[in-house]
Amino acid sequence: MGTVAYWVLKAVLTPVFLLLWRVKVEGRENLPKSGPAILAANHQSFCDSFFLPLVVMRKVTFLAKAEYFDHLKTAWFFRSVGQIPIRRGGGAASERAIFTAREVLDKGNLLGLYPEGTRSRDALVHKGRTGVARLSRECGVVVIPVGIVGTEAVQPLDAKLMRPFHKVTVRFGKPMQMVPAADPNDPLVDHDHAKCRSFTDHLMHEIARLSEREYLDEYVTKISSS
């Protein structure tokens, strides 16, 4: 039912979005037509999660903060648009998020992630979390860097409603991939955090370029509204 609801909502919302906003797509040829992949994007507005899947022909599944699913009035919507609830935080919570993401990829699906971990309050792309590199390495999948431009004007960080008639550009970069783990059944045996960090930094610089933003080598400060 979730898959059916996803495509029904997309069929209904796509013409509405294209009417209200000037949406431009660049680099669509970099998207795989089949098989698992990670779409790693900058995150500046709540509506990023609407515009990114809007321009992708395949279903995109996002990992979303579990608080969105705490209310019946909104939980049905987030599930319908392909989002999976996760509890954020380090340690066990991070490992559960990685496990959930692996399940999505193991099914051959597209996974949408924001490596910064939360929305940025400034006009910068910040240091990324290394979970995206771990997933690429442990699942043997490519990462597509994505730059989203213009959504901060459509829905500023603290705004409740989306503002029409702004231009939004979604750019897909060339695929990137970590060297797969030697033993997929026990990928942590030869895990090298330094290599994951280097891959993630390279990825974030590419996302910054695609999104026309400067890169800041500092993590985003988490806020309760993100």
- In this prediction, residues 103-117 reach a mean pLDDT of 94
Cβ pair 6, 79 in contact under 8 A: no
Residue whose C-alpha is closest to residue 154's, from 56, 46, 81, 72: 46
DSSP state of 167: E
**What is the per-residue pLDDT across 193-224, written as a single tens digit (0 to 9) for each?**
999 999 999 999 999 999 999 999 999 986 54
Cβ pair 147, 209 in contact under 8 A: yes
Which of the listed ranges 66-70, 124-128, 158-162 does the model predict with the highest average pLDDT?
124-128
CATH code for residues 2-215: 3.40.1130.10
CA distance 159 to 31: 31
Query: Which residue did the predictor score with more confidence, 96 or 156?
Result: 156
- Please give the sequence-ordered ranges of beta strands (E in DSSP) within 150-201, or none if there are none: 167-172
CA distance 104 to 75: 19
**What is the per-residue pLDDT across 133-163, written as a single tens digit (0 to 9) for each?**
999 999 999 999 999 999 999 999 889 999 9
Q: Where are the domains of the chain?
A: 2-215
